[in-house]
Amino acid sequence: MKFNTLLILLLLCLSCKSKNNKAETALAETWQTEFVVHKDFGVDLKVYDFNGLEPLLNKKDGKVHVVNFWATWCAPCVKELPYFEQLREAYADKNVEVLLVSLDFPHQYDTKLKPFIKNRKIQSEVVALDDADMNTWIPKVNESWSGSIPATIIYKDDERQFFEQSFTFEELEKQVKPFLN
Amino acid sequence: MPLVLVVLAISAFTVNKTTVNSGYKIGDIAEDFSLENIDGKMVSLSDYKDAKGFIVTFTCNTCPFAVAYEDRIVALDKKYASKGYPVIAIMPNNTDIKPGDNLDAMKERAESKGFTFPYLIDSEQTVFPKYGATKTPHMFVLQKTKKGNVVKYIGAIDDNYKDAEAVTTKYVEDAVDALLAGKEVEQKETKAIGCSIKV
């Protein structure tokens, strides 16, 4: 019950935010697009197709990479985001890097995604994946992925684990630890 | 203490359910079900005496990917119901977690979008695990045979969720067309992004 109330509050909060942003955007759109991006949201968002994203999922730099596929409209994703932030913070000195790959719709980059990144003060790197041909790229992320989000990859060089599930901080930490050293 | 154990056991079970990819494979016989429609009546596949098969879709009101496909699901039913392959839509989410998917909301959505097919609620959440549906939207094309309803296609509707105009391959249509022509379905499984089913 508590959880429901929280969710409803969260949804209300999201919807009121998006209304505000709509107003902001409407105002801002009378200016240059550049202005919307840099002045209003202050977020530089890199948008990739899968070919562009793929190297970020296959770095061979000896670091532990935690890559989470999410979207602002995905409630369980939004719920677990703080744990990824917490992980980044706690393990930054142990060569752990977090990458948040957003699957938000392109028409909502400015109205939803960028304001979300800014308002929640997300510190991990956020990029957007815009590639409609999902049947081609989902199996390249992981053969077993059915395509539901949230989904997470943890990898270091050639070692790799894939999770099609939600995490708590403890569960996430437990999965990352074997990759350290 | 026993309560803690129960909670642990349940949460362990939930994690397993979402990570293990069980459910129907291509060629399996799909069990029939009896689920409540938005008009209050119970619906089973066996009610469709003249059907040659079914386009079963797990979908919901609240997932943007499912919403992006609503018009295309309506179009599928318009095109194929008369040819013997009606659409059967099933909403699998736990409505305590997603109140926007409850029966009243489903009714409203079906009316406003002009659903021409049943929109059933898997209120006990027992049907979607049998299919192995993990997300919305998730499509299953079944062919009615003497042995039962055989799973012939699992996956996405087409290859572009963003833009119906930019679609190059219509997976579900290709599958149903092949079955209607008495041929093998060429592309039997595809992947697509969707919202995880809320349990």
Establish if B119 belongs to a structural domain. Answer: yes
Say how far apart CA B129 and CA B134 lie, in whole Å.
Answer: 8
| pLDDT mean over B12-27 | 62
Lowest mean pLDDT among A20-24, A152-156, B151-155: A20-24
* Region of poorest pLDDT, from A31-35, A46-50, A52-56: A31-35
Cβ burial A132-157 (10 Å sphere, 16+ → b, else e): bbbbebbeebbeebbbbbbbbbbbbe
| CATH number (domain holding residue B158) | 3.40.30.10
* Class at the top of the CATH hierarchy for domain A44-179: alpha beta
Q: Is B1 within a domain?
A: no
CA nearest to B12 within chain A: A171
Is B183 inside any structural domain? yes
Q: Is there a contact between A152 and A64 (Cβ–Cβ < 8 Å)?
A: no
User: Among B174, B170, B173, B175, which residue's Cα sits nearest to residue B151?
Assistant: B175
Confidence of residue A43 (pLDDT cuts 50, 70, 90): confident
For residue A77, pLDDT beyond 90: yes
Do A135 and B194 lie within an 8 Å CB cutoff?
A: no
Number of structural domains chain B divides into? 1
Assigned domain for B15 exists? no
Q: A7 pairs with which residues across the strands?
A: none
The per-residue pLDDT for A42 is 72
Q: Which of A2-6, A115-119, A171-175, B189-193 comes out lowest in average pLDDT?
A: A2-6
- DSSP calls for chain B: -HHHHHHHHHHHHHHHHHHS--S--TTPEEPP--EEETTS-EE-GGG-TT-SEEEEEE--SS-HHHHHHHHHHHHHHHHHTTTT--EEEEE-S-TTT-GGGSHHHHHHHHHHHT--S-EEE-TTS-HHHHHT--EESEEEEEEEETTEEEEEEEE-SSS-SS-GGG----HHHHHHHHHHTT---S--B----EEEPP-
C-alpha–C-alpha distance, residues A33 and A138, integer Å: 32
Identify all chain B residues contacting A134, using CB atoms and an 8 Å cutoff: 156, 159, 161, 191-193
Chain B: residue whose CA lies nearest to A104? B64
Tell me if B105 is assigned to some domain: yes
Q: Considering chain B, what percentage of its residues have pLDDT values greater than 70? A: 89
Exposure string over A16-36, b if 16+ CB within 10 A, otherwise e:
eebeebeebbeebeeeeeeeb
Mean pLDDT of B61-90: 96
- Chain centroid, CA A181 distance in Å: 26
Q: Which of A75, A135, A165 sits opposite B191 (nearest CB)?
A: A135
Q: What is the mean pLDDT of chain B?
A: 91
Q: What's the complex ipTM?
A: 0.77
Question: What's the pLDDT band for A34 if we cut at 50, 70, 90?
Answer: very low
Residue B144 domain-assigned (yes or no): yes
- Low-confidence winner among A2-6, A171-175, B7-11, B83-87 (lowest mean pLDDT): B7-11
The verdict on residue B182 lying in a domain is: yes
Range of the domain at B144: 24-196
CB contact under 8 A, A165 and B15: yes
User: Which of B64, B96, B135 has the CB atom closest to A105's CB atom?
Assistant: B64
pLDDT, one tens digit per residue, over B53-71 is 999 999 999 999 999 999 9
Categorize the per-residue pLDDT at A128 as very low, low, confident or very high, splitting at 50, 70 and 90.
Answer: very high
DSSP summary character for residue A121? T
Would the pLDDT of A32 be above 90? no
Query: What percentage of chain A exceeds 90 in pLDDT?
Result: 74
Interface of B with A in 148-177 (CB under 8 A): 155-156, 159-163, 166, 171
Q: Nearest CA to CA, how far is A148 from chain B (Å)?
A: 5
Q: CB-CB: which of A8, A144, A148 is closest to B194?
A: A148
| Residue B174 placed within a domain | yes
CB of B185 within 8 A of CB of B57? no
Task: Report helix, strand or coil for A127.
Answer: strand
**Rounded CA gap, A124 and A142, in Å?**
22
A19 band by pLDDT with thresholds 50, 70 and 90: very low
